[in-house]
Structure 1
Amino acid sequence: MHAIGLIEVNGFVAAVEALDAMLKTANVEFATWEKKLGGRLVTIIIKGNVSAVEEAILNGKNKADKITRTVAYAVIPNPHPETIKMVNISAEKLFKVDGGEISEF
């Protein structure tokens, strides 16, 4: 079963640290990111199987909490197609700049 994981932290540096920890922790992929309030709130979204996403999110939260505070985090197993659509819209904006491809879950 596939899942998405989201972690929202205060600040870009904490977000990068969290992402790095998540990717090194488990077999997950970076899906996209969003920033709000001028970058003060950054949300990182990852994808993978449920257990890998759960482990990665917890390690990312622990890493981010050493720098700032984690605002929120969630793991969504078997996300609804409309949820995936929302994530893909975000990813399309990100990867259009990069020229990368978007892969479905």
Structure 2
Amino acid sequence: MKALGLVEISGLVPAINALDGMLKTADVEFVTWEKKLGGRLVTIIVTGTVSSVSEAVDYVANMKDIKLAAHAVIPSPHEELDKLIKMSTEKYKYLNGGE
């Protein structure tokens, strides 16, 4: 598995804005997201090379118009994390009609 980047943001609209910036700023791929508290807290997960993921996460960390709750870059994620990510991805696909 490539590196993982996670950002946890307060608010659905700021999270979508942050994801858009991450994808435009760095060569990363959107993996999944988790919405909690009715979308008031959103975790976005991206993957790519360590440098690309770091660039994307740094981009969000430096955004002035969002409330960043937490962020992390995991350079070489343990294979057990892959199971967690796949569960989230499958849930996301199910909730969006199998897309």
Per the TM superposition, whether the score is higher than 0.5 is: yes
Aligned Cα root-mean-square deviation (Å): 1.4
Contact 1:5-1:74 at 8 Å conserved across structures: yes
Normalization by structure 2: what TM-score? 0.91
After superposition, residues 1-105 of structure 1 pair within 5 angstroms as: 2-63=2-63, 66-96=64-94, 97-100=96-99
What is the alpha-carbon distance in structure 1 between the residues aligned to residue 97 and residue 74 of structure 2? 27
Identity %: 55
Aligned letter for 1:80?
H
- Alpha-carbon distance between aligned partners in 1 of 2:74 and 2:25, rounded to the nearest angstrom: 18
Deviations 1:33-81 (CA, angstroms, capped at 9, x unpaired): 0011121110000000100000011112323xx3231000000011011
One-letter amino acid matched to 2:6? L
Query: Do the aligned partners of residues 92 and 71 (structure 1) sit closer, same or farther apart at CA in structure 2, a change above 3 Å counting?
Result: same
What TM-score, normalized to structure 1?
0.86
Letter matched to residue 93 of structure 1: K
**Structure 1: which 4+ aligned runs deviate by more than 3 Å?**
none
The alignment of Structure 1 onto Structure 2 pairs a total of residues equal to 98
Unmatched segments (≥5 aa) in structure 2: none
SS in 2 for 1:78: coil
